[in-house]
């Protein structure tokens, strides 16, 4: 992964971790270079709103919004506008009169503790405040996990978050309904307090202009069927995809730091699934956090999440301070 900021477009010193620099499908920009692309995009968030939107242990502030997210908002605006133009052209080509434009879907992927949720919420707020006032909804993949009862029965609790722990049929049916423009599409919801899917509780998505779909494995590919049948992947429904990246060692530190902070906050709630971790010594809690990282989250990162990075349209590479240092944009 990137260990220092890159300067200039198409530099020959693009890190090998992103592929052979002579054939890389990405253009890389330092955060400072990227910030210049915001042009006259207005800052529509306040410092208090950013504090409310950011996740625990995420230091994003207004300066980071100006550096990274205003340019990203402008880029996404261009993609949404181009999507609408293409839709109108195809509508004329097919001589269709009653077809409506379906939602523009943005996928956000990356490891646990890397800041996906913050990025998703910040983007959702910025996009909803465009002059056209689009309707923007945000859905996470957590609700599509199999319930704990199923994972326990299948002996998969230690693989929660791995691709096989999701109800892939329900996930694909949801995205298919969204892309078909269906009204009032239900997405299952998840409680981080109880660490489980909430039975019979749903988030209703009604024909948004933009849907942000966030989850660790949303760019995951799958084996192709030998008979050539159409077997869609989650990313087939995306119009644009973002991967939040960082050095493995940094993500490890962020995960453990967040766990230890949660031990002093959310885990103290008697209803928390992890309440027991708030009652052990700091040394024992640290050992538990390291075990969870090594046995579950690191394996998932290496086996499933990181290999999906090259499928993203845009890569946000974070550095030591949890702020974006480099942006990689797929070439057109």
Q: Could you give the CA distance from residue 186 to residue 170 in angstroms, rounded to a whole number?
A: 10
* Residues 6 or more apart whose Cβ sits within 8 Å of residue 316: 68, 119, 242, 243, 244, 245, 324, 327
110 is in an annotated binding site: yes
3-state secondary structure of 26: strand
116 is in an annotated binding site: yes
**How is residue 167 annotated by DSSP?**
-
Helix 70-93 to helix 116-128 angle (10° resolution) is 60
328 is in an annotated binding site: no
Q: Is 149 exposed, middle or buried (0-12, 13-18, 19+ CB in 10 A)?
A: exposed
Give the CA angle between residues 177, 131, 235 to the nearest 5°: 30
**Which pairs with CB-CB distance under 8 Å and at least 24 residues apart come from 286-290?**
286/256, 286/260, 288/259, 289/255, 289/256, 289/259, 289/260, 290/256
The answer to whether 312 and 330 have CB atoms below 8 angstroms apart is: yes
113 is in an annotated binding site: yes
Q: Could you give the CA distance from residue 124 to residue 65 in angstroms, rounded to a whole number?
A: 13
Q: Please report, in range form, the residues annotated as the binding site for ATP.
A: 110-117
Q: Please report, in range form, the residues annotated as the binding site.
A: 110-117
């Amino acid at each position: 992964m990137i260990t220092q900021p890159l300067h200039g477009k198409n530099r020959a010193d693009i890190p090998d971790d992103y592929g052979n620099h002579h054939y890389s499908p990405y253009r890389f920009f330092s955060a400072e270079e990227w910030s210049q692309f915001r042009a006259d995009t207005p800052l529509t968030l306040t410092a208090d709103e950013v504090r409310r939107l950011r996740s625990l242990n995420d230091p994003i502030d207004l300066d980071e919004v100006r550096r990274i997210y205003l340019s990203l908002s402008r880029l996404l605006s261009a993609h949404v506008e181009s999507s609408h133009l293409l839709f109108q052209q195809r509508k004329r080509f097919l001589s269709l009169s009653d077809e409506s434009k379906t939602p523009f879907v943005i996928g956000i992927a990356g490891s646990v503790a890397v800041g996906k949720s913050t990025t998703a919420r910040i983007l959702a707020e910025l996009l909803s405040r465009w002059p056209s006032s689009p309707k923007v909804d945000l859905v996470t993949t957590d609700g599509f996990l199999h319930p704990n009862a199923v994972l326990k029965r299948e002996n998969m609790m230690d693989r929660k978050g791995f691709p096989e722990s999701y109800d892939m049929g329900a996930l694909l049916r949801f995205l298919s309904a969204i892309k078909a423009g269906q009204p009032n599409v239900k997405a299952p919801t998840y409680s981080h307090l109880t660490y489980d899917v909430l039975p019979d509780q749903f988030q209703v998505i009604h024909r948004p202009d933009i849907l942000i779909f966030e989850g660790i494995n949303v760019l995951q590919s799958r084996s192709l069927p030998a008979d050539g049948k159409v077997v869609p992947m989650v990313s087939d429904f995306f119009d644009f995809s973002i991967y939040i990246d960082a050095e493995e060692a940094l993500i490890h530190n962020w995960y453990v730091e967040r766990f230890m902070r949660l031990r002093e906050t959310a885990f103290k709630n008697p209803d928390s699934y992890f309440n027991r971790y708030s009652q052990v010594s700091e040394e024992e809690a640290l050992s538990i956090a390291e075990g969870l990282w090594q046995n579950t989250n690191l394996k998932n990162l290496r086996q499933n999440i990181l290999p999906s990075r090259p499928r993203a349209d845009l890569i946000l590479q974070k550095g030591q301070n949890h702020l974006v240092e480099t942006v990689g944009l797929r070439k057109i």
